[in-house]
Structure 1
Amino acid sequence: MHPLLVDIELVAFDLDGTLIDSVPDLALAVDAALAELGFPAAGEARVRDWVGNGSLVLMERALCYSILAGSGKSDPATGLLERAHAAFLALYGRDPGANTRLYPGARECLDALRGRGFTLVLVTNKPHAFIAPLLEGLGIAEHFSLCLGGDSLPEKKPHPAPLLHVAAHFEVATGACLMVGDSRHDIAAGKAAGFRTLAVPYGYNHGEPVRQTDPDGVVESLAELV
């Protein structure tokens, strides 16, 4: 067992970039939404650097890129972002897990932690409506005692509110909780909430090394936790 798990009772996991590689499906929906509005595609590589702050910010970044790098087309009318976001949600919601896969070691980690009696929760900035279809499709829904999306509370990561909520919900001291994520937002939220923090380097951190966020630990694979 990893030393960071000593005296830990609750482990909070990020989803995208930590447990799952969801960018293939996100990028397809982003590009399809852009196409509906007459903008050029962004492409999977760029979307990979934009994930992490929720779907609205994802589409805002995609629009900014496409307007600047594409035809130069700009729509001065209000509601452009809202229309793009609505299109993305509809398109992504058709099958959010078609090309999404668990990272190596993720299932083994969840199985082992659950078997040892840890309380496992999911805290993601992804809209809550997409969480259950993804977890059920990947066969890991039963591992989590609580799942929070980016729209579950008034604040989302990097704000500590979601983590403080789960600690209070399960009546666990924040010092007995661990936040596991792939981005600076996960680590910032964990630190602000008084959680221990563990980072994985393979996810989505806007092209920046997650080690620069000074987490309490880094593992190359979640299998190293157990």
Structure 2
Amino acid sequence: MPSSATHPALEGIRLVVFDLDGTLIDSVPDLAAAVDGALRDMMLPEVGEAAVRDWVGNGSRKLVERALQAVGARGGELDAAHDLFLHHYRLAPCRATQVYPGVRDALEALAARGMRMGLVTNKPTAFIAPILECLDLAHYFSLTLGGDALSTRKPDPAPLLHLAAHLDVAPSACLMVGDSRHDVEAGRRAGFRTLAVPYGYNHGEPVAASGPDVVVESLRELV
């Protein structure tokens, strides 16, 4: 049982479930490189990091679809473009990806209190372990779920409920931590408490507008 926590958002919480991209890590530089690599292979113009930053959050296929739409490509090219994206991303999923300030402090403090932690991301499962291991984050999480682990993904609550059930924690004792409206919606629909950070990827919208229970500027506030 975790000891008393310093932040009110953690009161009564036994399991903290984190989003990955935009919450714990800034992965856009590597995602953008893979998107642009796929576009180059298809003899299409690159879109660049700034555009990709606004498109992340709904899984890799949707990311590639948005890139194709931006350059005016035909819809029938999505399967080929997505395969090329996965190829490029697999080659370098953690070359320029960085952990956000305050994240390691928060994870270490939560672990020291005995808090259980999980990860639910819309990123394909195959990339989760390599990135977590590269950044020395894997040991914090009891269970991780990628966007292709179940038949639905966030904002559907099913991945959150699956993780909570697997770890035998009631939804009312769970906290969902994310950076986007999809995280907030998934957490709310799952019956979790919700906490959001404003620095991640939310399609150019302030995440506070989604109505999370708590907003913190940095996860260091949970220490």
Q: Which runs of 5+ in 2 are unaligned?
A: 1-5
Give, in whole Å, the separation in 2 of the partners of 1:213 and 1:185: 9
Cross-structure match for 2:19 = 14
SS of match in other structure, 1:133: helix
Q: So what's the TM-score if we normalise by structure 2?
A: 0.96
Deviations 1:44-103 (A, max 9, x none): 000000000000000000000011xxxxxx447x4x100000000010011100000000
Please, which of 99, 107, 112 is the counterpart of residue 109 of structure 2? 112
Residue 29, structure 1, aligned to residue 34, structure 2: yes
Alignment of 1:123-142 (within 5 A): 123-142=120-139
Identify the residue that residue 46 of structure 2 maps to in structure 1. 41
Normalised by the length of structure 1, the TM-score is: 0.95
| Equivalent-residue separation in structure 1 for 2:49 and 2:83 (angstroms) | 20
Pairing 1:102–2:99 present: yes
Q: 1:115 Cα shift?
A: 1.1
How many residue pairs get aligned? The number is 218
Q: Which stretch has the larger CA shift, 199-208 or 111-120?
A: 111-120
Deviations along 1:117-152, whole A, 9 cap, x unmatched? Answer: 111000000000000010000011100000000000
Partner of 2:71, secondary structure, is helix
Q: Which amino acid aligns with 2:141?
A: F
Answer yes or no: is the 8 Å Cα contact 2:68–2:74 preserved in 1. no
Query: Which residues in structure 2 correspond to 1:60-79 (within 5 Å)?
Result: 60-67=65-72, 74-75=73-74, 78=76
The reply on whether 1:50 has 2:47 as its aligned counterpart is: no
- Provide the identity percentage: 63
Q: In structure 1, what residue type is equivalent to 2:71?
A: S
- Structure 2 Cα separation of the partners of residues 142 and 4 of structure 1: 23
Q: Matches of 1:46 and 1:75 in 2, distance apart?
A: 19
- Deviation, structure 1 residue 195: 0.1
Partner of 2:157: 160
5+ residue gaps in structure 1? 68-73
In the alignment, the residues of structure 2 paired with residue 93 and residue 75 of structure 1 have an alpha-carbon distance, to the nearest angstrom, of 25
Which residue identity is paired with 2:88? L
Provide the rounded CA distance (Å) in 2 between the counterparts of 1:151 and 1:115. Answer: 31
Aligned to 1:121: 118
Letter in 1 for 2:113: R
Give the Cα separation in 1 of the matches to 2:108 and 2:74.
49
RMSD (CA atoms) = 0.8
Per-residue CA deviation, residues 197-216 of structure 1 (Å, 9 max, x unaligned), is: 00000000000000000000
SS in 2 for 1:135: helix
Give the structure 2 partner of residue 91 of structure 1. 88
Which consecutive segments of 4 or more residues in structure 1 shift more than 4 A?
none
Distance in 2 of aligned mates of 1:214 and 1:5 = 18
SS at match of 1:98: coil
